[in-house]
Amino acid sequence: MRRYLFLSFISFLLIVFSTTVVNFVAIGNAIPDLLLMWIVYIAITQGQLTGTLFGFSIGLFVDVISGNDGMLGLSALCKSLAGFVAGYFYHENKIEITLSSSKFLFAVGTSALLHNALYFVIFLRGSDVGWWSAIVAYGIPSMLYTTALAVVPMSLFRRKYQ
């Protein structure tokens, strides 16, 4: 129970940080998704179910505070998918190896790509903007930026575990 409270507290701090500061480090259309990176970390260390539930909770909280008109639950759905996908990288005996290797980067990149694809397919439904062009213009750059930033925790874990 104490572990989940700690994860929830860190999640809350990251939500506040992501909604206030992260837009200032955007490069063009690419905005890093620190919450997605955190959800991947949770899924790798705690398992698929926990990653999915934290993804849903974090996404729903973001939806509520961001006030997306008519899209309540979209971030919850997409971040749940990210937690679910990242949970496939969970192996109880290989957590340290996964976090300190390129497997972590692959998990972040894969989860981010699927997250962004689902987000834009639903968000752009009924608009003149094609979802493929939105993914190329926003989704892929954000995925690459998020994955590039994931090198920092991967390096820290590598230093800690090796």
**Domain 2-12+28-161 carries which CATH code?**
1.10.1760.20
Q: What is the pTM of this model?
A: 0.94
pLDDT number for residue 123: 85
Question: What is the rounded average pLDDT of the residues 72-88?
Answer: 96
The percent of residues in the chain predicted with pLDDT above 90, rounded, is 77
Q: Which two tokens stand for residue 104?
A: 């972590």
If DSSP codes are grouped into helix, strand and coil, which group holds residue 30?
strand
| Cα-based distances in Å from 145 to 8, 70, 108 | 25, 28, 11
Condensed to tens digits (0 to 9), the pLDDT of residues 15-74 reads 999 988 988 999 988 999 999 999 999 999 999 999 999 999 999 999 999 876 678 899
The whole-angstrom separation of Cα 74 and Cα 56 is 10
SS3 content of the chain, % helix, strand, coil (to 5): 80, 0, 20
Domain residue ranges of the chain, discontinuous segments joined by +: 2-12+28-161
Question: What is the rounded average pLDDT of the residues 80-93?
Answer: 97
